[in-house]
Structure 1
Amino acid sequence: MEITKLSAHETLQLIRQKQLSPMEVIQAYMDCYTKYNPKLNAVCSLSDDVFQQAEKWEREAKNDNFYPLHGLPVGIKDVTPTANLRTTYGCKLYENHVPKEDALVVQRLKENGAIILGKTNTPEFATGGNTFNEVFGTTFNPWNPELSAGGSTGGGAAALASGMIAIAEGTDLGGSLRIPASFCGIVGLRPTPGLIPTYPSEYLWDDMQVTGPMARTAEDIAIVLDAVAGESPLSPMRQPTHGRQFLETVLKGIPAGTRVAYCSDIADIGIEDEVENLCRTASFLLREKGVEVEEIKFDLSFARKAFLHLRGEWMLIQQYKNIERRNEFGSNLLGNIDAGLKISARDLAMAHHDRAQTWYKFRSFFEKYDYLLTPCMAVPPFPAKQNYPLTIAGKEMKTYIDWVAPTFLLSLTSLPIGCVPCGLTQQKLPVGLQIVGKPTSEEHVLALAKLIQETSPIGLPSLEETLS
């Protein structure tokens, strides 16, 4: 039995049956960390009490006290504060920063039995769809270490796909949980803002960036939501769960006659043929499972400027206390802050107006369909040392963020959005498919993701081949 290739769901079952111990689990994951992290640079700071944490949950298991995430190794994105564990935000200004308090999501993970293995790499303050920074360098893709793992939760995705962790915590503003999920062949979920409250935060009423999970399977993400979702008095952004059972709903599956629409290019930026063919094939394969699938046109490109303006405002709020030191930041973060400083009140009014139109558009859409399926990325993974893909389907990209429009346009809606692997290119590189669900329907998005994983499986990367 290869422990690190088990799903989190399977691992938990074996721990509860006392066929596996938390110490055996953490040892297996630490072996992968020792073997693969020097080549992938996914985990940037290792917890110094990993085995002590495992011993605690070992004792609880011996006393038949089991917790929802009992003994699961988890990676925390290096923008999420962890008490007594370095949190650098991928920024030289914070290279030696050690928080005194855990973020709320970390508190909940720990309380529910998770083992915090360490921090996972991210671009500076999570700005960018490729993971590199001046503190720790570049994270590489387990499917091909010359290529990007995506971003900004790239370290978490690479660690998951290579068996260093069982669950990854991350954040998503414009696609940071979905882009690396697509590039690394795992499942990512951007939940409804407030479902997992973000505390602490420089932007308390933030309805753009969310905290969320990545895992190898849809069931694993549901397990995490059952443990960490729910409102908190620490945050004004709240999404009550009212007793929702995430895993139970996912395991029930979706009913026959579910109505799905597929759109190949919601951003009107073009898409590589091979990527589109894989996403289309996986979508229409669902018909064999009783799902109604129809191809439609669904253009959200009108909202591109809206996102960029709101992103600029978001960057100013998040970095307000550092604005006078912005010239010490890297080019991506500096560019975002400078763009924010140029935004007018009229720009923001237009942005909020156009954002509202995305909601109205989906409100009409859901009168006929249950889900929208669309490619997560327009390209497969590109060279890791490249900031962003220069062209898509022969079309030149104007800025480093244009290529992630398929994800950032959907962020405007505040709808639950999953990314699930749906196929491999001829070069054996994963391709992800986005699932957009109705408001506050995370468990149903995950149920469809589970079905897609079953009908279009891709497996895990052959690490002995790719990293030899």
Structure 2
Amino acid sequence: TKFANMKLGPTGTLPLSATAQPNNLLSLDAISLSDLIRTRRVKCVDLMNQTLTHMQHINPKLNAIVSIKSKKDLLEEARAADEHIDKGIYKGWLHGIPTALKDLSNAEGLPTTMGGSKLFSSQKQQNMDDSFVRRMRNEGAIFVGKTNAPEIGLGSHTFNEMFGCTSNPYDESKSAGGSSGGAAVSLSSRIFCLADGSDMMGSLRNPAGWNGIYSKRPTAGMISDEVDDDNDNETCRGENENKTEGKSLLLPYPISTPGPMARSPLDVAAFLQTMAGPKNFDASTVPSNPDVAATKIGWLADWSGAYPMEEGILPLCETTLHNVFENKDALDCHVEKISSALFDAKDLWYSWTTIRSRYLSDVLSEALGGLDKVLSPKVGDAVVKPEVLWEVERGLRITDQELQKAINIAGNWSNYVMADLFSKYDVCALPSAQVWPFDKHQRWPEVINGYKMEEYHRWMEIYIPVSLAGLPCVTIPAGYDEEGGLFMGLQLFGPRGSDSRLLSIAQAYHMIVNWPSKYPPLS
């Protein structure tokens, strides 16, 4: 496009190469691949061979994919997919497309270790699919393995004792984000074209921003993460359809939600339809060439100074908002900075962390039949990482009065969102993180711009506004830092049910910047 060379970040070039793409097939978006397979111009077995060859080369460096099936079995699945097409049997748009599932998701024939947790790490293959996994399978997807995640999915940095740390493909010494870190890296490194993730407190948003891809946290409740409706066996999480129903019991919507990740918004939309089911989301509501002119965007920046930010993040995001969103020759949106009368960030923090800790202690207690293994492990028995133990112990200390106060604040925030924010703006924007990708050997950032982070997830505070109200959010790549070429993203979020509008804005943006296709990592 005429904007191909537009400077969107502090600098106009990246230390990356468009020639670094592994090959043409693996650089394609999912919709294009699907069309090539459906029309028999590409064989599923050829796509699988290229995927496995590239994965064998790149995965030892990045550690994105774990619990990988045998090459023999995967090639047999791909050949069977080709044979089905030869016989006129086409399962759906994911027919023959390889992907991997986040290691918190259940899939028949694959283990679910819950991020390498010693509590769930029997490596026993599951005998059922989560509901959205079953829909993916019915559409013809081939599951290569699992994508790496932190233990129990806690913390926005992907590492665990069983599988190790996942590296950022733009700088292998840096964090890839989390908890959907393996999923995001599998996309940015061109192993797969689609990957599922999940998000309680930024787990779809941070890794998308740091990997220069797109992710969608749907309106909470749109996608069920329960076991397949035809199977009431318990999963390793101790869940079944009668016990969970996708509800948190603390809020009127789920605290955590699965969601799609991809390298283009149209792929995200198509994948969201599959994950949620066509009754819950229709991908055709996201046009390929949307007109988003006059969209009113409220820029929340650092929440009037409440969220400490590393240097360079706010200027980069504001440059992108000005050069692309406000530019009359580009998207022609109206962007206004919101700097007064904001909801108290301290109240949001109190409410979210109180509800989260109680929720996590309740869920783990139910899954494990009590918390003895967590709180009082015998010598040699399974234990959890310190962050999990901290959450559980904190959750057990929370009084009913404290919990009710937190729930009341959450209700007030949801009311404020509709009465104050979305009465004035169509969507709101925040950076996708308060820090740049940090040294992967760190557990979490302990200081941001001089402010001490007292808890392991304090640096993730910027994800609370969306999570606490169950709002839909699309994360888009906003640009990269001056020195290292590390990506940062933007969170664009709207009122519940505005998923199509958010994806349309992301698609309009993608047509201009062409990220991440334009800048694949060197590795």
TM-score (normalised: structure 1): 0.93
Amino acid at match of 1:369: Y
Aligned runs of 1:363-382 on 2, under 5 Å?
363-364=418-419, 365-382=421-438
TM-superposed CA distance for 1:64, in Å, is 4.3
Aligned runs of 1:433-444 on 2, under 5 Å?
433-444=490-501
Contact 1:131 1:150 in 2 (8 A): yes
TM-superposed CA distance for 1:28, in Å, is 1.6
Contact 2:374 2:389 in 1 (8 A): yes
**Number of residue equivalences:** 455
Does 2:511 match 1:454? yes
Q: Counterparts of 1:273 and 1:451 in 2: how far apart (Å)?
A: 28
Q: Pick from 75, 88, 101: which aligns with 1:51?
A: 75
Structure 1 unpaired stretches of 5+: 232-239
Contact 2:135 2:277 in 1 (8 A): no
Contact 1:250 1:444 in 2 (8 A): no
Structure 2 unpaired stretches of 5+: 1-22, 228-236, 249-253, 376-382
1:143-175 CA-partner distances (Å, limit 9, x unpaired): 111000101111111111111222111211111
Structure 2 partner of 1:68: 93
Q: Counterparts of 1:53 and 1:222 in 2: how far apart (Å)?
A: 26
Aligned runs of 1:379-458 on 2, under 5 Å?
379-426=435-482, 427-458=484-515
Contact 2:132 2:274 in 1 (8 A): no
Amino acid at match of 2:266: E
Amino acid at match of 1:293: V
User: Per residue, is there more helix in 1 or in 2?
Assistant: 1
1:176-222 CA-partner distances (Å, limit 9, x unpaired): 11111111111111112221111136444231011111111111111
Contact 1:422 1:458 in 2 (8 A): no
TM-superposed CA distance for 1:422, in Å, is 1.1
Amino acid at match of 1:335: W
SS, match of residue 412 in structure 1: helix
Does 2:301 match 1:274? no
Does 2:37 match 1:15? yes
SS, match of residue 173 in structure 2: strand
Q: Counterparts of 1:183 and 1:26 in 2: how far apart (Å)?
A: 27
Structure 2 partner of 1:236: none
Structure 1 partner of 2:197: 170
Structure 2 partner of 1:332: 387
Q: Counterparts of 1:280 and 1:457 in 2: how far apart (Å)?
A: 19
Contact 2:111 2:125 in 1 (8 A): yes
SS, match of residue 371 in structure 2: helix
SS, match of residue 312 in structure 2: helix
Q: Pick from 321, 325, 330: which aligns with 1:286?
A: 325
1:9-63 CA-partner distances (Å, limit 9, x unpaired): 2212222333222222222211121011111111111123322222232123334
1:363-387 CA-partner distances (Å, limit 9, x unpaired): 0211121100110101110011111
> RMSD in angstroms over aligned alpha carbons?
1.9
Contact 2:266 2:286 in 1 (8 A): no
1:224-262 CA-partner distances (Å, limit 9, x unpaired): 12222139xxxxxxxx52xx4224424252442211111
Q: Counterparts of 1:120 and 1:21 in 2: how far apart (Å)?
A: 25
TM-superposed CA distance for 1:393, in Å, is 2.2
Change (3 A) 1:143 1:80: same
Does 2:277 match 1:230? yes
Change (3 A) 1:184 1:369: same
Q: Pick from 296, 305, 312: which aligns with 1:259?
A: 296
Structure 2 partner of 1:31: 53
Change (3 A) 1:375 1:121: same
Change (3 A) 1:229 1:254: farther
Contact 2:289 2:508 in 1 (8 A): no
Amino acid at match of 1:27: N
Change (3 A) 1:81 1:131: same
1:288-343 CA-partner distances (Å, limit 9, x unpaired): 22211111124451210111011111111220125111041111111111110111
Amino acid at match of 2:409: D
1:87-137 CA-partner distances (Å, limit 9, x unpaired): 111202222232221111111101011111110111111011101111111
TM-score (normalised: structure 2): 0.83
Does 2:416 match 1:357? no
Amino acid at match of 2:350: K
Q: Counterparts of 1:399 and 1:223 in 2: how far apart (Å)?
A: 37
Q: Counterparts of 1:406 and 1:269 in 2: how far apart (Å)?
A: 7
SS, match of residue 373 in structure 1: strand
Structure 1 partner of 2:131: 104
Contact 1:78 1:119 in 2 (8 A): yes
SS, match of residue 420 in structure 1: strand
Q: Counterparts of 2:335 and 2:307 in 1: how far apart (Å)?
A: 23
Q: Counterparts of 1:250 and 1:46 in 2: how far apart (Å)?
A: 36
Structure 1 partner of 2:363: 318
Amino acid at match of 1:78: D
Contact 2:208 2:214 in 1 (8 A): yes
79-88 or 201-210, which deviates more = 201-210
Change (3 A) 1:322 1:387: farther
Change (3 A) 1:311 1:195: same
Does 2:220 match 1:220? no
Q: Counterparts of 2:308 and 2:81 in 1: how far apart (Å)?
A: 49
437-446 or 450-459, which deviates more = 450-459
Relative contact order (C-alpha < 8 Å, sep 6+): which is higher?
2
Amino acid at match of 1:398: E
SS, match of residue 46 in structure 1: coil
SS, match of residue 260 in structure 1: strand
SS, match of residue 356 in structure 1: helix
Change (3 A) 1:409 1:324: farther
Q: Identity across aligned pairs (percent)? A: 29
Structure 2 partner of 1:304: 349
Amino acid at match of 1:270: P
TM-superposed CA distance for 1:417, in Å, is 0.9
Q: Pick from 271, 274, 282: which aligns with 1:245?
A: 282
Change (3 A) 1:373 1:300: farther
Contact 1:41 1:138 in 2 (8 A): yes
Q: Counterparts of 2:388 and 2:370 in 1: how far apart (Å)?
A: 11
